[in-house]
Structure 1
Amino acid sequence: MRVVIADDEPIIVMNLKEILEDSGYEIVGTASNGFAAIDLCKEHRPDILILDIRMPGLDGLRTAKFIHEGGYVDTIVIESAFDDEEFVQKAGKYGVSAFMVKPIDAKTLVSTLKVATVRSKELRSLRSEVIEVNKNIEARKKLERTKGLVMDKLNLSEQEAYNYIRGISKENSISMEFVAEILLDCLLDEK
């Protein structure tokens, strides 16, 4: 697992780096502020980002939000000296997989990273499934709309309109979705 550590306290960075390297993680970069963390994550696309919540310039929460929205890292873990419920709530909204309170010991860090990584993968898989389902729904809507326009334009039954679209698809070895898209565009231009 490839890791970026972002914390403005060099001693904490050294401690985290030592724990992680001893546990088999690869540290691909360290940063002392949010801007540098974003740059490292864009460049290296690590598996994990460990991020201090309070850093100069751009704080950890806003950094996490930007990195999550950009899809630059799979798992974001926030570390903080403060156990503030408001921070925890915001962290969850900004794509953070885990929140650890300093000081952090080796067992807690490694265990937290393992669980957070599993949860991040599950969420990513669910998001992909939702995207795929939405694509299929949109394709089906497009096909249904096209079928309705073909029915009106060519005075066909629903089954005949479907067969018409399917016939074009088979004849040209292209998907029905693509045929529907083209026909829809052509039929709407005629109106």
Structure 2
Amino acid sequence: MGKNRIVIVDDEPVIRMDFREILTLNGYFVAGEAADGFDAVELCRREKPDLVIMDIKMSVFDGLSAAEVILSEGLSDCVILVSAYNDKEFFKKAKHAGVMNYLIKPVREKVLIPAVEMALAKSLEIRSMKNKMTKMEEDTKNAKIIERAKYLLASSSDISEKEAYEKLRKLSMDKRCSMAKIAESILSQDSAKAFTEKAKVYLMKKYELSEQAAYLRIKRLSSEKKLSLSEAAAEILNNAGK
């Protein structure tokens, strides 16, 4: 059995000790203990445990409220709440908050361990699903960036989009960098050029300068303040209220 990291939260030290002993004997690692919901949240922010086993009724920040914070902030994927009372209203609220299980005290080993195993298995499924969703979102975002860079490269170099794509792919291989990163760099450069062009046009109109004189003014500011051309252009436009 792997060493899953578990946090125990209960305002009764004896119960925390009992849970720790049961969990340790069954191959789990207790990453920390807390006596109230407030400390539980802070502990989970530090430890990012695989599972939190937490009492509901505590003097400072009850377990249900703490569970809502822990789950909403992604501090742990998995919470089991424990109570001395079989309260249907609490059970409904716990279910709504995304709590994995709700156990009634006294919690014996034969009840606790199966509940822990089931909760961790479900948590693993949820984590896997989240990772897949995150990867899909990232892939979609990268595809859009590559598509924009491909179109820009094709337009500026007077080549087909297929040739632009091959150029991006070759750059990616040569630089040993993802196509999305190469595409981002191309788009960033284009954005910087557009920014500099806008500042140049502003200076030409404002001071009746030639295109070359306006460019030299941006370049001088860049040199004086040790900024990039686009940063110098941004400062000019900011000062102009653009």
Does the alignment reach a TM-score above 0.5? Answer: yes
| Secondary structure, aligned partner of 2:52 | strand
CA 1:85/1:132 → structure 2, altered by over 3 Å: closer, same or farther? Answer: farther
| Secondary structure, aligned partner of 1:77 | strand
Q: How many residues align?
A: 191
Q: Which moved more, 1:11-20 or 1:51-60?
A: 11-20
| Secondary structure, aligned partner of 1:8 | coil
Say if 2:57 is the partner of 1:57: no
What is the rounded CA distance, in whole Å, between the counterparts of 2:63 and 2:71 in structure 1? 12
C-alpha displacement of 1:83: 4.0
- Partner in structure 1 of residue 7 of structure 2: 4
Pairs within 5 Å for 1:71-86: 71-86=74-89
Which runs of 5 or more residues in structure 2 are unaligned?
195-242
Say if 2:194 is the partner of 1:188: no
Which residue type is aligned with residue 189 of structure 2? Answer: C
Which residue type is aligned with residue 110 of structure 1? Answer: I
Give the counterpart of 1:30 among 23, 29, 33.
33
C-alpha displacement of 1:122: 1.3
What is the rounded CA distance, in whole Å, between the counterparts of 1:33 and 1:170 in structure 2? 53
| Secondary structure, aligned partner of 2:6 | strand
Q: Identity of paired residues, percent?
A: 36
Pairs within 5 Å for 1:8-157: 8-157=11-160
The structure whose RCO (Cα within 8 Å, separation 6+) is larger is 1
C-alpha displacement of 1:22: 4.4
- Partner in structure 2 of residue 160 of structure 1: 163
What is the rounded CA distance, in whole Å, between the counterparts of 2:177 and 2:24 in structure 1? 51
CA 1:174/1:53 → structure 2, altered by over 3 Å: closer, same or farther? Answer: same
Q: RMSD of aligned C-alpha atoms?
A: 2.6
Q: Which moved more, 1:171-180 or 1:124-133?
A: 171-180
Q: Which moved more, 1:4-13 or 1:131-140?
A: 4-13
Give a deviation string over 1:86-143, Cα, whole Å, max 9, x none. Answer: 5344434544222223332321111101110111111111111111111111100100
> Which is higher, the Rg of structure 1 or of structure 2?
2
